[in-house]
Amino acid sequence: MIELQKQFQPKARNICSACGKDVGVSKLVVAGNVNICFDCSDLAKEIADEKRKGIAETEINQIANTLSTTRDGNFDVDMAQALVYANRLYKAGYRKVE
Ligand SMILES: [Zn+2]
């Protein structure tokens, strides 16, 4: 019985570390100590892209707030215009250094 179970055990190198499916080594991306199947890799990329988009929106809003406010805290430029400039600055590569 134990011999039979061993015979049908999938090989670890064929299994996706994320979903646990036995997809075969040719359909896995090896990253460090993990094997990720193409589907999980695509899903991870989509999630990462969404998170990057959220981070970008937060930074753009922070830039727009800075642009639209004077040193004394009064509004200087209207927010819609500040967002246009903030988007341009962000696309040009400006990032706030923390
Ligand atoms: Zn997977």
pTM above 0.75, yes or no: no
Interval between CA 15 and ligand 1 midpoint (Å) = 8
pLDDT tens digits along 33-86: 899 999 999 999 999 999 999 999 999 999 999 999 888 888 788 999 999 999
Give, as residue ranges, everything with CB less than 5 Å from ion ligand 1: 16, 18-19, 37, 40
What does the pLDDT look like over 14-37, one tens digit per residue?
Answer: 999 999 999 999 999 998 989 999
24 — phi, psi (to 5°)? 95, 145
Domain map (residue ranges) of the chain:
2-91
H or E element: which one contains 35? Answer: strand 34-37
Between CA 30 and CA 78 the distance in angstroms is 49
